[in-house]
Amino acid sequence: MRFPWSRRSAVPDDWRELAARHVADWGTYDPPDQERLGALMAELIDGHRWEPARGFELTDRMRVVIAIQASRLVLGLEGGTDWYERITTIVVHRSVLRFDRVEPGPVEGTEECGVVHLDGQTSYRGPVVISWDAASRNARHPTRGRDVVMHEFAHVLDMADGVVDGTPPLPPSQLERWVDVFTDAFDRLEEHGSEVLDDYAGTDAGEFFAVSTETFFTRPLQLAEAEPELYDLLRAFYRQDPAAAATDR
């Protein structure tokens, strides 16, 4: 049934052009996947509240770039954008965010389960906050290996089971190997650093998963080479093979 008072979609007609122009590795997706990403993007744009930080104005380009990058994580996941249903609002700042600490929680004396960075913030049952400067720069230059949107939305996937522990909900058959491989890679990063993962991954298990996810999508060939087992687990979880897509290009 269509209601006459349905909200108009905020998805711009030229979203394909915006994606092709502003997301550098858009061309690694074949046309059916681009359309599927477009459908997920539309769900994110129309299904969530989007707010600009004070004194800032949201544009079509911002919504499309942020929603596309977030959609790439759930392209192969059963449930699609259902993974993001706990997000109350997507807040976009012009540049870096300034927070001293995690926001107080709903109950006095508690803290919101969340993480804060200069470029973004995620909290459980709260907003995802993104710096547009970082998001647009990252989308244009994926080979630098950073993507604040993927990073923050990876935290949302991690939080889907209620805890930020670097392990999203997994089939039991994958869990044991996941813990072994991630623990081993984390220990090696702490001890020797990594040639492909940013040092920030060594902060804790949650950051390790978020940074690994960024690297999986932005520098897949390097990750597959340096951390084949980690790459393999992420490929199984996300049900995508960006290294193969990058090789075929």
In the complex, the smallest distance separating the C-beta of residue 151 from Zn ion, rounded to whole angstroms, is: 5
On whether the CB atoms of residues 93 and 129 are closer than 8 A, the answer is yes
Site string for Zn ion, 40-79 (x = CB under 5 A): ----------------------------------------
In the complex, the smallest distance separating the C-beta of residue 182 from Zn ion, rounded to whole angstroms, is: 15
On whether the CB atoms of residues 32 and 40 are closer than 8 A, the answer is no
Q: Residue 153 or residue 231: which is nearer to Zn ion going by CB?
A: 153
* Number of residues engaging Zn ion in binding (CB under 5 A): 3
Closest CA to 42 of 64, 73, 69, 72: 64
In the complex, the smallest distance separating the C-beta of residue 110 from Zn ion, rounded to whole angstroms, is: 20
Q: Residue 92 or residue 164: which is nearer to Zn ion going by CB?
A: 164
Helix residue spans in 120-227 (DSSP H):
132-140, 148-158, 172-192, 205-218, 220-226
Site string for Zn ion, 106-145 (x = CB under 5 A): ---------x------------------------------
**According to CB under 5 A, which residues from 188 to 247 bind Zn ion?**
207, 210
DSSP annotation of 89 reads E
Q: Which helix (H) or strand (E) holds 131?
A: strand 128-131
On whether the CB atoms of residues 37 and 75 are closer than 8 A, the answer is yes
56 CB burial (10 A radius; 0-12, 13-18, 19+): middle
Q: Residue 123 or residue 222: which is nearer to Zn ion going by CB?
A: 123
In the complex, the smallest distance separating the C-beta of residue 44 from Zn ion, rounded to whole angstroms, is: 20
Which residue number places its CB atom closest to Zn ion? Answer: 210
Residues that bind Zn ion in the complex, under the rule CB under 5 A: 115, 207, 210
